[in-house]
Structure 1
Amino acid sequence: MAAANVTSSLKNLAIRGTLWTFAGYGASRILSFGSQLILTRLLAPEIFGLMALVNTFLIGLQLFSDVGIGPSIIQNDRGDEPEFLNTAWTIQVLRGLALWLCACIGAWPFAQFYGQPELFALIIVSGFSAVISGFNSTTLFTANRHLDLGRLTLIELISQAASLVVVLHWVLRYPNIWGLVAGSMFGVLVKMILSYRWLPGIRHQFAWDWKAVQSLTKFGRWIFLSTALGFFLQYADRLVLGKFLSIGDLGIYSLAVLLSGVIQDIHSRVNQAILLPVYSKLKHLSIEELRERVRKLRLAMMAVLLPPIWISAIFGTLIIDWLFDSRYHDAGWMFQVLAAGLVVPVVSIIGPFFLAFGDSFTLLYLLIVRSIALFGSMVVGGLLFGSTGLICGVAIHHLIFYPFLVAVYRKYSLWIPWLDAAGMISSALIIAAGLYLVNTFI
């Protein structure tokens, strides 16, 4: 009876957390999309191209120095102990300071490599946001650990809204890139303040518990390499295309990535915010019971995310032409290609279940393989078809990576081949039929 009560309670938490995740993300996308419609009319594509390079540099620093503090707190048995949390917070603060120093050192060579002198000052100023976020309370992670996502979601939305207010106020008066920088930094500051004001938790102080450090570094050693590769997977396209496209074309591509990334972001958020804590609480189940829960989770994910992918892949160009002015027309076909490529990960990826068992090396292995697949497909596409082939390679790499993903799932007896086949074949048929009808009648 007790086990049944625990399972029922976990199910309720997971459902509530999922609802908060989707509601919060939906509201976040509405805010972001609304502001994007306004900003694309006020700012030139070149400004978005520059900001894409700034964000890529700073996010790269963040991910190349990630020691897995958040996932460590979520999965560790000591994740609620003050000494453990204070030690994690101390490491986080020191990391934020180190990141800004690295940003200051790397800003000049990065600006020279891309031939954009403005990047130097932009990166130094924007990089200070790492110092601010380094002081975030660890309650952001402990709330996630207990699937208490309501206030977490509100914090994200409020900080985003605050950021957008600053951006729009600045850009309406001075239509330049510094409005985007100021808004971004203000949003980070608001999130840091709210992490202390709105979430219950310990009062942080600097601490250094060697057992906690060892636990954090043992789990985080593979996370460090994994997030470095994760950066490559997420931003290699912009780093490469930034060298081969004009800064304006890079801004157009960034718009296509922003729109297609909505689906990918929802998928990733559910995997990290919902599935990792759920797997951590279900890791003692038998493989048959875990497999059944995975099947249900995947069916729910596919039912929610596949229809938007189909719509984007079929009507992407029409959507872009309807929403944005003619300067952004080329984002349409890019949006279609990138959206179609998301069918494979949405259908097949079931979340980081192996992290719940403390197996962070498998995550590293998968990211290495996927990085090679991405780099290889972009190189081949670029050699054959130029910049168009590079962009198509970004979408195709998911299919190349799929067999390696299957091998890991089979190792844990969690591969469900009929579900993969049903999702991919039905998607291919629907997208092909839709494109035919659009090209024939519109």
Structure 2
Amino acid sequence: MSVANEFKKGILYSALGKYSNVIIQLLVTGILSRLLTPADYGVVAVVNVFLVFFQMLADFGIGPAIIQYKDLNEKDIGSIFAFSIYLAVTLGLIFMSLGIPISNFYSNAVYQQICLILGVCVIFYALLVVPQSILLREKKFFNVNMVTIAANLASGVLSIVLAFAGFSYYALIIGNIAKAFVMFIIFFYQAKLKVTFKMSGAPLKKIYKFSKNQFAFNFINYFSRNLDKILIGRFFSENALAFYDKAYQVSLYPNQILTSVITPVIQPILSDYETEKSVIKKVYLKITLVLGTLGVPISVFLFFSSTEVVTFLFGNQWGGSIITFQILAVSVWVQMISSSTGAIFQSANRTDLLLLSGILSTALNIISIAIGIFLGKIEYVAAMIVLSFTLNFFMNNYLLMYRLFNATFKEYFKILIKPMIMGLLQIIFFLLLPELPFSNFFNLVVKGIGFMVIFLMGILVTGQGKLLKEFLGRRNKNK
């Protein structure tokens, strides 16, 4: 099967899963945001920062390594799974013990009990890494996405029931545990793994070089992506963290809706072409073209529709997120395009360059976040994050085009000209659009219709329709 056909099949199943999950997430979040307070979300946002860190530790770079190394046999994977069992239990116990220091850091004793409960969640997230990676390695995208839908649905229903019953932020916490449990049980069954507690060093050594760079990248990337939330929760307030976190989540929706249907299938497919850099480059440039065509106009729309988007999704009590979201919307297109770079490094077995990009990105993010915290408002933090994302975008593409593909920026930025023209058309439209006198919902509908009309005009003017079809494989007969 050609690369184009494999991508078409993988993206189809990925889209089915991702769009279903986004719909579930939007419905659940919309309901919970009206049942719970910003303070409740602030408490969960604080502990989620540490939960994400332990999920990263749980992966240990093992997941991508299993996908990349096709010569791992059943015995090798069994040994790696045994290692993940010991790792899961260890990480779970450590997380449970962190309640006291976290409570002291944030001056809130509630985190002691929360950490005890979420330690179970850490264990299940660690255990599902190997079986999920086996399914992705075998390109069983349909299975992975259907399981994720089932887990999100179970988690969402349970969280809503608990919120109605007055469980406050525990509704979100218990729902997260349910999601991890469901995913592990089904992934484990479908991967047909056998539980063993015997480990061999040979398979771990085999994946060490790849996984150590992947793990190191994940480790520093965690701080790069979460330091803002850690410091906002410490130096501002839980309410400020809730408003910032909600705005940040909404700014990620385009990634979840659009790019996340593409990025999960990149490494499982392109890892077969590890030595054929020209194939990988060709796919990357096409991905950049499609994501730019979608991302630039969407960034403009979200910037000019920030009030309507936030209040429609979460209600008027989340007005404190609007300006922050408007600022973050500027970087949506950058984040969309950048979301695929990690998988490209992995596919070419260049996790050393991935690690280097992570180090440079983290340094920039830390400096930017520190400046924003010093200035004293979440809006300043958001503005500095946008600046950091933009600079990282240039650095990552330097590593890809010059160091990996032996190409130049000229070849890369040439394909972004038409997406920028489409973005400019959107800017002109929204600047000329008069202030709308309707409710936020109807204002959003009007702006959305205008966005779609201008977007389709832009597609026709720039001729991007043909290129989008080519990316989807309808006219691509080559590898």
TM-score normalised according to structure 1 size: 0.90
Partner of residue 233, structure 1: 224
Amino acid at match of 2:272: K
Which secondary structure state, in structure 1, belongs to the residue aligned with residue 98 of structure 2? helix
Partner of residue 335, structure 2: 345
Amino acid at match of 1:395: V
- Counterparts of 1:116 and 1:395, CA distance in 2: 31
- Counterparts of 1:248 and 1:386, CA distance in 2: 12
Amino acid at match of 1:301: L
User: Is 1:333 aligned to 2:323, yes or no?
Assistant: yes
Pairing of 1:402-441 with structure 2 (within 5 A): 402-409=393-400, 410-411=402-403, 412-413=405-406, 415=409, 416-419=411-414, 421-422=416-417, 425-426=420-421, 429-430=424-425, 432-433=427-428, 436-437=431-432
The correspondence for 1:206, drawn from 194, 197, 218, is 197
Which secondary structure state, in structure 1, belongs to the residue aligned with residue 214 of structure 2? helix
The correspondence for 1:314, drawn from 279, 304, 309, is 304
Amino acid at match of 2:67: I
Deviations along 1:308-332, one digit per CA (max 9) or x if unpaired, are 3332222111222334332211212
Aligned residues of 2:259 and 2:336 also touching (Cα < 8 A) = no
Change beyond 3 A, Cα 1:290–1:37: closer
Aligned residues of 1:66 and 1:227 also touching (Cα < 8 A) = no
Aligned residues of 2:49 and 2:229 also touching (Cα < 8 A) = yes
User: Is 1:88 aligned to 2:83, yes or no?
Assistant: no
Partner of residue 267, structure 2: 276
Pairing of 1:293-308 with structure 2 (within 5 A): 293-308=283-298
- Counterparts of 1:148 and 1:432, CA distance in 2: 41
- Counterparts of 1:172 and 1:113, CA distance in 2: 31
Which secondary structure state, in structure 1, belongs to the residue aligned with residue 207 of structure 2? helix
Partner of residue 135, structure 1: 127
- Counterparts of 1:358 and 1:422, CA distance in 2: 30
Partner of residue 456, structure 2: none
Amino acid at match of 1:129: C
- Counterparts of 1:429 and 1:214, CA distance in 2: 51
Change beyond 3 A, Cα 1:379–1:423: farther
Partner of residue 209, structure 2: 218
- Counterparts of 1:426 and 1:111, CA distance in 2: 50
Partner of residue 444, structure 2: none
Which secondary structure state, in structure 2, belongs to the residue aligned with residue 182 of structure 1? helix
- Counterparts of 1:391 and 1:164, CA distance in 2: 29
Which secondary structure state, in structure 2, belongs to the residue aligned with residue 77 of structure 1? coil
Partner of residue 54, structure 1: 47
Partner of residue 20, structure 1: 13
Deviations along 1:183-215, one digit per CA (max 9) or x if unpaired, are 111121111111133x25343323322210111
Amino acid at match of 1:320: V
1:276 Cα offset (Å): 1.3
Change beyond 3 A, Cα 1:89–1:421: same
Deviations along 1:345-393, one digit per CA (max 9) or x if unpaired, are 3345643323223221111110111111112222334445643211211
Aligned residues of 1:68 and 1:220 also touching (Cα < 8 A) = yes
1:125 Cα offset (Å): 0.7
Amino acid at match of 1:338: L
Amino acid at match of 1:57: F
Change beyond 3 A, Cα 1:381–1:178: closer
The correspondence for 2:367, drawn from 376, 393, 397, is 376
Aligned residues of 1:263 and 1:309 also touching (Cα < 8 A) = no
1:168 Cα offset (Å): 1.1
- Which blocks of at least 5 consecutive residues in structure 2 are unaligned? 438-479
1:423 Cα offset (Å): 6.2
1:33 Cα offset (Å): 0.9
Aligned residues of 1:314 and 1:438 also touching (Cα < 8 A) = no
- Which blocks of at least 5 consecutive residues in structure 1 are unaligned? 1-5
Aligned residues of 2:121 and 2:177 also touching (Cα < 8 A) = yes
- Counterparts of 1:124 and 1:21, CA distance in 2: 34
Amino acid at match of 1:417: Y
- Counterparts of 1:137 and 1:226, CA distance in 2: 17
Aligned residues of 2:297 and 2:426 also touching (Cα < 8 A) = no
Aligned residues of 1:24 and 1:154 also touching (Cα < 8 A) = yes
- Counterparts of 1:397 and 1:214, CA distance in 2: 36
Amino acid at match of 1:246: S
Partner of residue 246, structure 2: 255
Partner of residue 68, structure 1: 61
Partner of residue 152, structure 1: 144
Aligned residues of 2:310 and 2:322 also touching (Cα < 8 A) = yes
1:401 Cα offset (Å): 1.6
Partner of residue 3, structure 1: none
Change beyond 3 A, Cα 1:254–1:348: closer
TM-score normalised according to structure 2 size: 0.83
Aligned residues of 1:347 and 1:423 also touching (Cα < 8 A) = no
Deviates more, 1:42-51 or 1:137-146: 137-146
Change beyond 3 A, Cα 1:424–1:364: farther
Aligned residues of 1:78 and 1:84 also touching (Cα < 8 A) = no
Which secondary structure state, in structure 1, belongs to the residue aligned with residue 79 of structure 2? helix
Aligned residues of 2:29 and 2:314 also touching (Cα < 8 A) = no
Aligned residues of 2:55 and 2:125 also touching (Cα < 8 A) = no
- Counterparts of 1:271 and 1:211, CA distance in 2: 33
Deviations along 1:195-237, one digit per CA (max 9) or x if unpaired, are 133x253433233222101113222111221111121122222
Partner of residue 180, structure 2: 188
Number of aligned positions between the proteins = 432
